[in-house]
Chain A
Amino acid sequence: MTQSLTIRRILDALPITVFVLLFLYLSLNSANFLSFPTLELILKQAVPTVLVSLGLATVIVAGGDDVVSGGIDLSIPATAIICAAIVADQVTNHQSPLIWGLVLAFGAAGIIGAVNAGLVVWVRMTPLLATLATSVAIVGVTKVITESRRIGVTDPTIVFIRDGSIAGIAAGVVLTTIVALAYWHLVHRTKWGMNLQATGGSRDAAEISGIPTNRFVVQSFLLAAFAGWIACSFVLARGSGSSPGSEENLLLEMVLATFLGAAFSPRRVVTVWGAVLGAVLVSALSVGFISIGVNVFWTGCIKGVLILLVVASAAAGREQ
């Protein structure tokens, strides 16, 4: 009993320990890593990852944190990218107002959320496979819309999100903070959120308590797609337009950030604030690696290994 507790504690602490060691290494090897401009850059770069991670955290809270059988939505980054493509196509190629592009993108995100929810709740596919399939389909449609080409956007609202500031803080960071606070309040501070957590914590317990669990799972996928839709404006701002293919890196960072966040939660479960913190740390790693001149491909490889570590430690912890 004591031995298994010790093993659990070691497994719990492993991801954080590795991250702390990496940060120490980066701080010692990059003179500017802990400077204010670098920290601001880290937060600005973290914005799209934070937003898609909010969606993933919501789905995991509703479905449970078992990567295979629990809740997961791999299609959120693809949703963000297709929404960005729709907006860019409307604004730049069709000279439509930004709001019209956003309305169309909102409709697309709603359809994606509904399809994911339908596949999981009614067709009873595992979320991993269902959202992997929709993600692949969305990427295909995005390529059709953009003809696999970059579409630049110079709309003043998007430029403001990229370059503007509110009370001296980057506009993107402020807006993202507001969205994150809204998600946090909804998931962790309301009756709806408690029922969502119960649904993911134990489906049987929730059902016996009279909670309509399917409804909550459906709503979590809709909220995830909504997070993808919000992220699209910030994706457009960061890249000054739509760039098909950028969903891969976003997917990697989203999964890493969200599961890493669980390691910071006192109860060792995925939470909204944990996902936000995780996203900022992942962004810090990316910026740090660039600042010491690590090849970008190696950065991807290191992130992949970290995902393995975080997910494996969560699985092993559950087994214990």
Chain B
Amino acid sequence: MAVALLQMHDIIKSFPGVLALNKAALSVQPGEIHGLVGENGAGKSTIIKVLAGVYKADGGTVTIDGEALQDVTPRSVHEAGIRFIHQELHLVQHFTVTESVFMGQELSGIGGLSRRDMKAKAESFFKDALGTELSGDLLIRDLGIAERKLVQIARALIDGAAKLVVFDEPTAPLSSGETEKLFAAITNLKARGIAMIYVSHYLAEITDICDRVTVLRNGKTVSVFEEVLPDSTDAMITAMVGREIEALFPDVSHCASADLLQVQNLHHQAFSNVSFDVQAGEIVGIAGLIGSGREEVVDVLYGLKKASEGAVKFNGKSQAFNAPKDAVAAGMVLVPRDRRHDGLVLDMSVSDNVNLASLDDISTGLIERRKMGLAKAGAVAEQLDIRPRDPSAKARNLSGGNQQKVVLGRWLTRGAKLFILDEPTVGVDVGAKVEIYALVEKLAADGAGVLVSSSDPGELVGLCDRILVMLRGEIITEISTDGLGVDHLVALTTGGQAA
């Protein structure tokens, strides 16, 4: 085999309390498309950020074209010909295609900018290197997402010095038609001898376009596939998951009773034709990658976003919540995915946060009765084992798990009928996870309905009675968790296995 274009060897990177990379390795040959896969938290983003010079590794070596890079900084990596296509587009809406391609690397002559030169170069780059026609005069805001992605690629490669391009989840916001456009461009680049690292959760894409694949798990390189075949996905998933679900989940069977929530043919920009139901006393999961429409379904149900069509029946009544206050009034509550921004007022006390949604209960007329509020929050803290037990402590100073209990506690005091939990255990330690899972089970056992949207397949399999699997804006299947393996769920969400 030829000298590797890139070799990352024994890379170690730790953050306070977490060993994100534990002697991870990555090797890319000239001209190949190299897939990088792993579950959330496996270390994909960290190793890419080490390569980009954003994080400084605690140990290990980075070698480019056989020469060790002494100091890995954004500048040295750029000079070595490595380019990054970030997941976010980072474009200026009112700029033209030409202005965007040449942003920060404009061509100018004596009289100022050489606009004509730049336009001609940009347009010929699109045609020759990416195999597409795109006018340099179009405004970014008038382009589709796929074209914007191509502009982003052109900006990284227009100087002609790129040897290796790193794509980070490039297709996450794209529809399947748009994905094909991007793949055509990637194939064109490969034909020009440019090597690529392709980071994606979509295993079907990985097997479609990658020559070799590295699998990361818990910060280590666990497997390198020297040959990628259409049926390699099973082996990849086994390498990615590679663990038994720990005994985190209480073994309780639920008795689903009456229909609580019925969703029929719901449509939105991010998803279409979504139909499902949730019964009182059961836990239903929604699985799907970022961009699958999972987050938007939650937002629409709770009145944060508007559906373009479809019907929602909640607790026997047809409902179309225009705002969260309508949902809360009807008995539907949300524990949001971004706990720190949307779930809590961080500088308020535990008591204030717990009572935020039920101020009427602790007020007489216009006067808030603080002692009553503190007593009520104290009882919730006792019930949920919120630590420290002091209800006047600032929410900001609590651990992630305890903060999440405060958000849950807020809704317990209202006696809600349906709990929507969006990423309920993100940033929560294992001990607190067990407690939160037990609490969720208890909610269902007490007769509430629970809808859990999560990016953690293990959590969904362990906690839920059945799971709705979303892929690219559609529910592709609904499966019972009886006997369901995590690897099977991963295969479904990543498009690695047909539903």
- B-binding residues in A (CB < 8 A): 185, 189-191, 193-195, 197-198, 201-202, 204-206, 208-211, 267-269
- Chain A residue contacts of B92, Cβ below 8 A: 197-198, 201-202, 205-206
Residue B160 CB within 8 A of the other chain: no
- Chain B residue contacts of A267, Cβ below 8 A: 94, 139
Q: Mark B124-140, 1 if CB is under 8 A from A, else 0.
A: 00000000000000010
Contact present for B86 and A208 (CB under 8 Å): yes
The segment from B12-20, B104-112, B406-414 found at the interface with A is B104-112
Contact present for A205 and B103 (CB under 8 Å): yes
Q: Determine which of B78, B104, B111, B112 lies in contact with A198 in the assembled complex, contact meaning CB atoms within 8 Å.
A: B104
The minimal Cβ–Cβ distance linking B97 to chain A, given in whole angstroms, is 13
Q: Give the residue name and chain of the B residue nearest to A267 (CB).
A: B94
- A-binding residues in B (CB < 8 A): 78, 86, 88, 90-95, 99, 102-106, 108, 111-113, 139, 155
- Chain A residue contacts of B155, Cβ below 8 A: 209
Contacts A201-B94, A269-B94 given; does A190 touch B105 at CB 8 Å: no
Contact present for A194 and B103 (CB under 8 Å): yes
- Chain A residue contacts of B106, Cβ below 8 A: 191, 194-195
Q: Determine which of A190, A195, A204 lies in contact with B104 in the assembled complex, contact meaning CB atoms within 8 Å.
A: A195
Which among B103, B111, B113 has the greatest number of chain A C-beta atoms within 10 A? B103
Q: How many A-B residue pairs have CB under 8 A?
A: 59
- Chain B residue contacts of A209, Cβ below 8 A: 103-105, 155
Contacts A194-B103, A209-B105, A211-B104 given; does A202 touch B113 at CB 8 Å: no
Q: Give the residue name and chain of the A residue nearest to B99 (CB).
A: A194
- Chain B residue contacts of A208, Cβ below 8 A: 86, 90
The minimal Cβ–Cβ distance linking A4 to chain B, given in whole angstroms, is 11
Contact present for A204 and B90 (CB under 8 Å): yes
Q: Give the residue name and chain of the A residue nearest to B308 (CB).
A: A1
Contacts A209-B103, A211-B103 given; does A191 touch B94 at CB 8 Å: no
Contact present for A194 and B113 (CB under 8 Å): yes
Cα-based distance from A269 to B141 in the complex (angstroms): 13
Contacts A201-B94, A202-B92, A205-B92 given; does A190 touch B113 at CB 8 Å: yes
Cα-based distance from A209 to B100 in the complex (angstroms): 10
Q: Determine which of B90, B112, B113 lies in contact with A205 in the assembled complex, contact meaning CB atoms within 8 Å.
A: B90
- Chain B residue contacts of A269, Cβ below 8 A: 94
Contact present for A202 and B108 (CB under 8 Å): no
Cα-based distance from A195 to B99 in the complex (angstroms): 10
Contact present for B105 and A268 (CB under 8 Å): no
Q: Give the residue name and chain of the A residue nearest to B86 (CB).
A: A208
The minimal Cβ–Cβ distance linking B116 to chain A, given in whole angstroms, is 13
Contact present for A210 and B104 (CB under 8 Å): yes
Contact present for B91 and A205 (CB under 8 Å): yes
Can you offer 6 A-B residue contacts whose CB atoms are under 8 A? Answer: A191-B112, A191-B113, A201-B94, A204-B88, A209-B103, A210-B78
Contact present for A202 and B91 (CB under 8 Å): yes
Q: Give the residue name and chain of the B residue nearest to A210 (CB).
A: B104
